Structure 1
């Protein structure tokens, strides 16, 4: 899930990772505001009052095994939802990042190949 802060300082879901647990849960939507997280240790963290990086670190923390998110839907309704299984969630993110890394490496090799082909073309045609 990708997040950003709106002009009121609220943590908003910008996009969901296709195939990830939040996406599969059908409980999160783009534009939802994440108000707080209650961990399996029964501590609740209000996300509006902490820096974005710290909020993201909490969401992706390996320390929290399960959590309940309090989210505000775009229609204003505030709901508690989605028990996060952190290990599963982090595994999905790891797979997503590995796929992007592979895609980026493949893309870089393709660009390198075509740059070489363009050089060869100009060498053949300028002599």
Structure 2
């Protein structure tokens, strides 16, 4: 494996870890809400269930691992930062290795569009719209 290939693999790993943190805490909270609702009133009573404590731990973990907006912004900056030596299209193709060419093309087009729009910087209607699209894009990519 060349140093350049290793560099790309390490970049993929970094971005996938950041995505995992976002998705795991988000899905964890959703699953726990559903589990608590199964037990109705007992689901919120710590004398009956450990679910309330686990739910609090998920919320704390989300903050501990950095807030999702911070992580989303970091991924955006990372992809832009390396685009000179690792194109967004190559990144998508690499992390979606084994997916259909149609799926890879769809994600490439979405990523290219989002990278052309101001997700960070001055706050305005365009940046807010792009940021709103950035979150679900990364969730589906993961």
| Normalised TM-score (structure 1) | 0.25
More helix by share: 2
More strand by share: 1
RCO comparison, higher one (Cα < 8 Å, 6+): 2
